A and B are shown apart, each in its own frame.
Chain A
Amino acid sequence: MTTLWSGLADGALYALVGVGYNIVLLASGVFNFANAQLIMLGTYLAYFAAVTLKLPLAPTVLIGAAAVALVGVVEERLAIRPLMGRRDSHATLITSVGVAVAIDGIVLRIWGSQPKAIPAPLSTKPLNLLGGTIEPTSLLLIVLVIVVGVGLHILSKKTMIGLGSLASAEDREAAMARGVNVRALAIGAFALAGLIAGAFGVVVGSGTYANPGLGDNLALFGFVAIAIGGSGSQIGSLIGGFATGIIYAEVSRYTNADWPQIVVFALFLLILLTRPRGLFGGAVERQV
């Protein structure tokens, strides 16, 4: 059961990355490859606020949320908006990769290569739960990611902003013709993804440490999470992320280091071959 808890905790990280990918994808049709790096940046800002400035938890979370939201907005303005509307939709993917690399470099320049410990918001004494052990902060991470994912799912389906975002992602020109402010939605999406990434800095960083490799380590499995769960579906992100984490953990428990990635990517390929839109992704028309 400890292994299962470990898988859920790791899966929560991948789901969090997937949720961030989907927020931007649903509102603007853009795949923001830098989202994992935004989460990494959130952990460093948590370190800065909690350790360097010695602030309590609430201001630490607020600073992280606000700062990374601002970074998201800047990313949208500089790396995404100039390329919106182009025929080649892959350009924004490439520039978002560039933003990811830039964030990696900035973090190394400011904080160096040594990992930074972030105080946990809850006790570090492991809990005995259902026959296994888990750190309280890891349990909090799992719960919060589920709350955020479900909340965003409801937002996208039941509110005008959410529906407008879906319309904008499906057909930008048609949405504009209907009076949807697509630019504001895109900016808002990047800001929201950044805000969530920054707000989670303490909870994520207290388990992973703020370390310069964190973004790269999370990015790939975050992508696998939405590929399995279905791009554009927040519920799919959650299920894809947790499934990835659990499979990886269980295979690690019973085999050696070579197998977990093989098994996860075999599942990824299976989903792509049999259900390309993912388990919960929407059907997409194509010309024949």
Chain B
Amino acid sequence: MRVRSWVRVRRPAVAVMAVVSLLLGVVAVDGAAPAGAASTGTYTFLYSGDFTGATMAYTQAEVLGLKVAIKQINAKGGIQGKKVVLETQNDQNNPTTAVSLLEQKLTSGQKPDAMYPGGSSEVTQALLPILTRDKILGIDATSSSTLNNPSKYPYYFGDSELSAQTVPPYVVQAKAKGYKKVGMIYGNDVSGQASMQGFQTAFQKAGITFVSASFPDTAVDVTPQLEQLKAQNPDMVIFSGYGVPTLYILKGRAQISWDAPFYADLLSGAFPIVQNLPASSLHNVFIETTKPFLAGNPASTGNPVLNTFVSDAKSLGGQQVLNNIGAGVTAVGYNALILINYAAKQAKSTNGATLAKTLESLKKANAPVPWLSYGSNSQFGNFYYTSKNHYPNVFPSGFIFVGPGTYNSNGLFVPGTGS
């Protein structure tokens, strides 16, 4: 008797459980960790960067660029009809933190549609295996050539030039000046070592002797390293450092009264040097900048996309970022989403794997191209990636050496007098 009662009571519950299980199974089958799980009508873009540490100023610029892109894309209906939503995670420029945060998101079913995987090569390198495993499209501006490996990282693309691509103009400059020996002082980290190797290869190929000295990121003074380099009598010196070491290099140079021409690499050149050093320390110091973001240059003044970008950035409260960090760094965030949108229109899809394939065969855009950085008519480079190259193609003609300066209210670089 009891068994029959049990069956009568349990049968409806079993039926309900069966229906629920069936429904759950349908959801599970429709893609594990569905992208933008909370909102099927949105395109979720995740930015991983340092929001509270020493590099947060660059994060602010990149996020501003993303917000400008989101504003423009959403005003025209979003990416393939999906409103773009920005999510962020504070990885504090720490690879372990970045991996941990992303894994937490993925295991809780919050897989992004695409992401900006870190503000430094170290962080990006740590995240790429996850992007590859989960087929998440990633675009960022880190510059180590080890990341340009489409066979290993098929879903990752760079939207700023590799450090090696910025090197040829230095070789051209050295040859034009008749220099026989070039020195380099650099920070002994992944970015500094990559930069040094790029320069070393290029100068040795050009038959110019190359010498170098490195310092740890924790150094509070680099005078001994400068002395080491000075003793080898280079005709020109390239310097590479991130943040305050850039200032230590130039301060130490002034202390030992070394007036050889000093050229900042891409990393040091992005740092606000002029605000932190007296003019007397900047004699014969040059930075490499790009014409599309140089004030008064036709490449910047004649670009309507840049004008709209600047205007939108200011409307989003980005004036201080433009003044302090410049439009160039802000543009790398902008370019990431603009490129995704362009690829999505071509592919008529938002699927990460499909977009990655599409990015390798983008149709040529008419002038003015929708992205920034290489001229309105791609006269200084382009983002036409291939299956063998996931970084921009950059032309040496886009670079120019000027004295350290400041940014104007539009985030364009105004050179000082380095010579």
Chain A residues in the interface with B (C-beta under 8 A): 2-3, 6-7, 9-10, 13, 105, 108, 112-117, 124, 126, 133-135, 207-209, 211-214, 216-218, 220, 249-250, 252-254, 256-258, 260-261
Contact = CB atoms under 8 A, between A and B. Distances in A.
Chain A interface main SS type: helix
Given A108-B53, A114-B272, A135 B244 contact: no
B256 interface: yes
Nearest to A255: B228
A116 B243 CA distance: 11
A3 B278 contact: no
Contacts of B224: 3, 6-7, 249-250, 252-253
B214 interface: yes
Interface stretch (B54-62, B97-105, B346-354): B54-62
Interface residues of B, number: 35
B89 to A, nearest CB: 18
Contact of A257 (B216, B220, B243, B277): B216
A10 B225 CA distance: 14
A110 to B, nearest CB: 12
B215 A257 contact: yes
A209 B247 CA distance: 9
B317 to A, nearest CB: 16
A113 B220 contact: no
Given A126-B255, A253-B224, A254-B228, 5 more contacts: A3-B227, A105-B52, A113-B57, A115-B276, A250-B224
Nearest to A254: B228
Given A133-B257, A135-B255, A212 B54 contact: yes
Contacts of A6: 221, 223-224, 227
Contacts of B221: 6, 9-10, 207, 249
Interface of B: 52-57, 188, 213-216, 218-221, 223-225, 227-228, 243-244, 247, 251, 254-257, 272, 275-278, 280, 324
A113 B53 contact: yes
Contact of B223 (A3, A117, A124): A3
Nearest to A119: B278
A203 to B, nearest CB: 13
Nearest to B218: A217
A115 B257 contact: no
Nearest to A124: B278
A113 B254 CA distance: 25
A284 B221 CA distance: 37
A36 to B, nearest CB: 11
A115 B213 CA distance: 24
B57 A115 contact: no
B120 to A, nearest CB: 14
B228 A252 contact: yes
Nearest to A9: B221
Contact of A213 (B228, B244, B251): B244
B215 A2 contact: no
Contacts of B225: 252-253, 257
A236 to B, nearest CB: 22
Contact of A13 (B216, B220, B256, B277): B220
